[in-house]
Amino acid sequence: MSLIKSEKSKKEKNVYTLQFSVDKETFAKAVSTAYHKKAAKITIPGFRKGKAPRTIIEKMYGKGFFYEDAFNEVLPNAWTEAAAASKLDIVGHPEFDVVSVDEGDTGVVFSAKVFVKPDVKIEDYLGIEAEKKVEPVTEEEVDREIDTIRERNARETEVTDGVSVMGDICHIDYEGSVDGVPFEGGKGSDYPLKLGSGNFIPGFEEQVAGHKLEEEFDVNVTFPEDYHAKELAGKAAVFKTVIHKIRHIELPAADDDFAKDVSEFDTFAEYRADLKAKIEKRHEDEADKKFEEQLLDALIEKLKADIPEVMFETETDNFVRDYESRMRMQGLDLETYFKYTGMTIDSLREQLRPQAEKQVKLRLALEKIAKLEKIKVGKKDIDEEIQRIAAAYQMESDQVRDMIPEDSIVEDLKVKKAMDLVKEKAVIKA
Q: Domains of the chain: which residue ranges?
A: 2-116, 155-250, 268-429
Q: What is the pLDDT of residues 174-184, one digit of tens each?
A: 999 999 999 98
Per-residue confidence at 49, pLDDT binned at 50, 70, 90? confident
CA 169 to CA 191: how far, in whole Å? 10
pLDDT at residue 240, as a whole number: 97
CA 386 to CA 262: how far, in whole Å? 36
CATH 3.50.30.50 fits 2-116, yes or no: no
- Residue 421 burial by Cβ neighbours in a 10 Å radius (0-12, 13-18, 19+): middle
pLDDT top residue among 61 and 129: 129
Among 6-10, 23-27, 33-37, 388-392, where is mean pLDDT lowest?
A: 6-10
User: Is 48's pLDDT higher than 70?
Assistant: no
- Percent of the chain past pLDDT 70, that is, above it, reads 96
CA 188 to CA 233: how far, in whole Å? 20
Q: What is the pLDDT of residues 148-158, one digit of tens each?
A: 999 899 998 99
* 3.40.605.10, 3.20.20.70, 3.30.930.10, 3.10.50.40: CATH of 155-250: 3.10.50.40
User: Is 336's pLDDT higher than 90?
Assistant: no
- Residue 28 burial by Cβ neighbours in a 10 Å radius (0-12, 13-18, 19+): middle
pLDDT at residue 333, as a whole number: 87
Q: Enumerate residues 6+ apart whose C-beta is below 8 A from 423.
A: 291, 292, 295
Compute the average pLDDT of residues 301-327: 94
The whole-chain average pLDDT of the chain stands at 91
Q: What is the pLDDT of residues 280-310, one digit of tens each?
A: 999 999 999 999 999 999 999 999 999 999 9
What is the dotted CATH code of the domain comprising 268-429? 1.10.3120.10
Q: What is the pLDDT of residues 228-287, one digit of tens each?
A: 888 999 999 999 999 999 999 888 999 999 999 999 999 999 999 999 999 999 999 999
User: Is 16's pLDDT higher than 70?
Assistant: yes
